[in-house]
Amino acid sequence: MRELYEHEGIPFDRKVASDALSGLLQTPSLGDVQLMLEDEEIVGYFVLTFGYSLEFRGRFLFLDQMYIRDDYRGRGLGREALEAVEKICPWR
């Protein structure tokens, strides 16, 4: 997460980020975090959260964050992540 913020030029506060992540991980009904691995090394991640919309008639899945480390970009990991999101989302 720190790397994503650095990449985007966003100030990173470890405590704030840790608290938010802990809240998400402790409450599965809010969403999920998926890690992208290559040879057991974390090379990226994506975060899915649930929202609720009257316009969309109920719950929706939001791809909140996706990050792939610089050295691993251009290998199709982003496409694979989006395919995984489609499988996770029950409303395709």
User: E strand or H helix at 84, and its extent?
Assistant: helix 77-88
Domain containing residue 79: 2-88
Q: For residue 84, what is the domain's CATH number?
A: 3.40.630.30
Q: Report how many domains make up the chain.
A: 1
Structure tokens at 77: 């990991």
State the pLDDT confidence band at 91, using cuts at 50, 70 and 90. low
- Closest alpha carbon to 62 in 81, 49, 53, 78: 49
Rounded to a whole number of angstroms, the CA Rg of the chain reads: 14
In Å, how far are 3, 54, 61, 66 from 35, measured between CA atoms?
14, 31, 17, 10
pLDDT attached to residue 46: 96
Q: What is the pTM of this model?
A: 0.84
1-60 pLDDT per residue, tens: 999 999 999 999 999 999 999 999 999 999 999 999 999 999 999 999 999 999 988 888
* Length, in residues, of the chain: 92
